[in-house]
Amino acid sequence: MPGSSFSALILIADGTEEMEFTITYDTFVRAGIACTSAYVAADEGESASPGPIIATGSRGIKFLPDVLFSDINQIHGTAKFDALIIPGGAKGAATISECAGVQALVRDYIDHGKIVGMICAGSLAARTAKLPSQPLTSHPSVKEQLANDFLYSEEPVVVSGKLVTSRGPGTTFPFALTIVSMLLGPDKRKEVAGPMIFPEGTPW
């Protein structure tokens, strides 16, 4: 809708897959979606350390998150955001999906009809948050942990109501563009995908 503004909360932890975080963030910004990155600490002592928090991705790239996830309610309020994004990367996804605060937020967003995007091993958060059985996908490495509780799919991107899941680094562009389309419509997706030279005719 003209004049509408949307925002996304994108989680990150040590071990987050860099492409899944960066491509999603970048694609959203191109679409005019305001992004906030929130660092999920593996332990409380890490959050309490003095100085800026640096997240080290799965390939060693350093990121400076905007806020600590533990502070997000005080600073922004989680209700501000229209979408919640959980990237993968084995270590990062484990930290994020096992965080009780993240699990509660996933359930709250789904209950209030807000978009929750999970990609790669980030889809484990659907299980830890105890979401009901529904279609989803993930990186093949965590398929066995999800297939018994969900209607597992091999599709690059799976949309189930407001839950959007995807497979890995190579499917991050269609994952992000799908969420852009859900928030802002298919015309905005085309507007963003064009200058990216995202291949025309790609089925997803």
Is residue 174 within 8 Å of 157, Cβ to Cβ?
A: yes
| Catalytic annotation present for 76 | no
Could you say which of 18, 35, 99, 139 is catalytic?
139
Q: Is 99 a catalytic residue?
A: no
Annotated catalytic residue, options 17, 20, 35, 99:
20
Q: Who's near 9: CB < 8 A, 6+ residues apart?
A: 36, 38, 72, 76, 78, 81, 83, 84, 85
Distance CA(7)–CA(119), nearest Å, equals: 18
Those residues with Cβ within 8 angstroms of residue 170's Cβ, 6 or more apart along the chain or in another chain? none
Is residue 46 part of the annotated active site? The answer reads: no
Catalytically annotated residues: 20, 120, 139
